[in-house]
Amino acid sequence: MLAAMSGGVDSAVAAARIAEAGHDVTGIHLALSSNPQSYRTGARGCCTLEDSRDARRAADVIGIPFYIWDMAERFHHDVVEDFVNEYAAGRTPNPCLRCNEKIKFEAVLDRALALGFDAVATGHHARLSDGVLRRSVDEGKDQSYVLGVLTREQLAHAIFPLGDSTKAQVRAEAAERGLAVADKPDSHDICFIADGDTRAFLSERLGTSEGPIVDALTGQVVGSHEGAFGFTVGQRKGLRIDHPAGDGRPRYVLSIEPVSNTVTVGPRAALEVRGIVGERPVWNGHVPEPYEPIRCTVQLRAHGEVYGCRAQLSGDLLHIELDTPATGVAPGQGAVLYDGDTVIGSATIASAV
């Protein structure tokens, strides 16, 4: 088995567990930047020189072979460029989800299988029962959402050894095992944006171009911005609206129109959506493809709220009707469907009404 080791505590303990269970384990660290300095993020990211050293050291302690796999080109193409292009198209991508889909469980998995490995293990907090993805027992740390895009075939070769443990248990176990990463801080930010300033990262790549901020209720131009890509549906802060709204209520981003470079804002109530259309659906759970509507729940962003819904597949699209309205549903994010704590499918949000 191949253990993908980021240099963090989770993947180190995951590797240690499968090695202890008697599997023949090889550790790998993914080099995601051909110039590691450029993605340097202190101790929080997942692709610094320090992280690769931490991963190597953990592999030494566990007693497994360890190598660095250079995935920089694939990562740049499939994750970083995709991230920039999605923003340019007015959507809000989730790069972690994309990295799982395209890097860890496609590029790495394909290579691993070709080299004779059976599976790829990661330190994600999620469970796999008979090939079906479930939430971690640690609800606060659950990462089933960012894995919801994986196909049945991908899940068949995935191992998540941490799903039955809480983060606190994982940290304690790391300390017991003598893994020096036991008290390393969690990573939060996007690993390839060193300072966490997404807007600056995007304007460096997309350039700035001034455009209007339009109030949906009045149709009036209420301000200007330096690039529609800097905004996310549901965003309230940093709008720099010149004229207060007539109703005196705060304004939120309702939509982003990249061609005319227009950001439309409106009151919170206008953000509420009940219907969501998802594209590129993946059906990966224990229930058959719902060509008739089924009842389930849906999560619309990482660590986001869960909504009761009816879901139905038609053609290449997934239609979701929410029981209660949701706000801040951003095209480009994943919609992951659950039956209880079990993932049954997912799609990328295309539009919401």
Partner 1 sequence: MGTAYLDHASTTPMLPEAIEAMTAQLGQVGNASSLHATGRRTRRVVEESRETIASALGARPSEVVFTAGGTEADNLAIKGLFWARKRPRILISAVEHHAALDPAHWLADNHGATVELLEVDEHGRVHPDTLRAAIERDPADVALVSVMWANNEVGTVQPIKELAAIAHEHGIPFHTDAVQAVAQLPVSFAESGVDAMTVSGHKVGGPIGVGALLLARGVDPVPVLHGGGQERDVRSGTLDAPAIAGFAAAVRSAVDRRADTADRLSILRDDLISRVREAVPDVIVNGHPTERLPGNAHFSFPGCEGDALLMLLDARGVECSTGSACSAGVAQPSHVLLAMGQDGARARGSLRFSLGHTSTMADVERVGEVIGLVVERARRAGLTSVSRS
Of 96, 191, 296, 309, which one is the catalytic site residue? 191
Is 115 an interacting residue with respect to partner 1 (CB under 8 A)? yes
Query: Strands 2-4, 221-225: parallel, antiparallel or unpaired by DSSP?
Result: unpaired
Q: Mind giving me the DSSP string for 36-50?
A: GGGG-BTBTSSSSHH
60, two tokens: 């030494």
Site string for partner 1, 45-74 (x = CB under 8 A): ----x--x---x--------x-xxxx-x-x
Using CA atoms, how far apart are residues 347 and 198, in angstroms rounded to an integer?
24
DSSP class of 301: S
Name 220's bridge partners: none
Kindly provide the b/e burial profile for residues 45-79, where b requires at least 16 CB atoms within 10 angstroms of the residue's own CB: bbbbeebbebbbbbbebbebebeebebbebbeebb
Residue 46 annotated among the catalytic residues of the structure:
no
Toward partner 1, which CB reaches closer, 78 or 142?
A: 78
- Give me the least distance between CB of 78 and partner 1, in Å please: 7
**CB of 70 vs partner 1, minimal distance in Å:** 5
Catalytic residue among 46, 47, 96, 99, which? 99
Cβ proximity to partner 1, 62 vs 271, nearer residue: 62
Segment 245 to 264, residues that bind partner 1, using CB under 8 A: none
Task: Establish if 316 lies at the interface with partner 1 (CB under 8 A).
Answer: no
Of 110 and 204, which CB lies nearer to partner 1 in the complex structure? 110
Task: Specify whether 191 is catalytic.
Answer: yes
Closer to partner 1 by Cβ: residue 29 or 184: 29
Least separation, in Å, of the C-beta of 105 and partner 1? 13
Residue 95 · residue 146 · CB < 8 Å: no
Q: Is 325 left (phi over 0), alpha (psi -120 to 50) or beta?
A: beta
Indicate whether 114 belongs to the interface with partner 1 (CB under 8 A).
Answer: yes
Contact set for partner 1, span 72-111 (CB under 8 A): 72, 74, 77-78, 102, 106-107, 110-111
Give, to the nearest 10 degrees, the angle between helix 167-176 and helix 9-20: 70
What number of chain residues touch partner 1 (CB under 8 A)? 25
Token pair belonging to 245? 């709204």
Q: State the DSSP code for 196.
A: S
Give me the phi and psi of 24, to 5 degrees please.
-85, 105
Closest CA to 315 of 280, 353, 350: 280
Min dist. Cβ of residue 18 to partner 1 (A): 16
Which CB, 84 or 113, lies closer to partner 1? Answer: 113
> How far, in Å, CA of 162 to CA of 291, rounded?
34
Per CB under 8 A, does 34 bind partner 1? yes
Which residue among 3, 4, 5, 31 contacts partner 1 (CB under 8 A)? Answer: 31
Mark the segment that binds partner 1 (CB under 8 A) among 9-17, 25-33, 125-133, 209-217: 25-33
Lookup: tokens for 14: 């995951």
Residues 336/299, Cβ–Cβ less than 8 Å: yes
Mind telling me the catalytic residues? 99, 191
Q: Binding residues for partner 1, per CB under 8 A?
A: 26, 29, 31, 34, 36, 49, 52, 56, 65, 67-70, 72, 74, 77-78, 102, 106-107, 110-111, 114-116
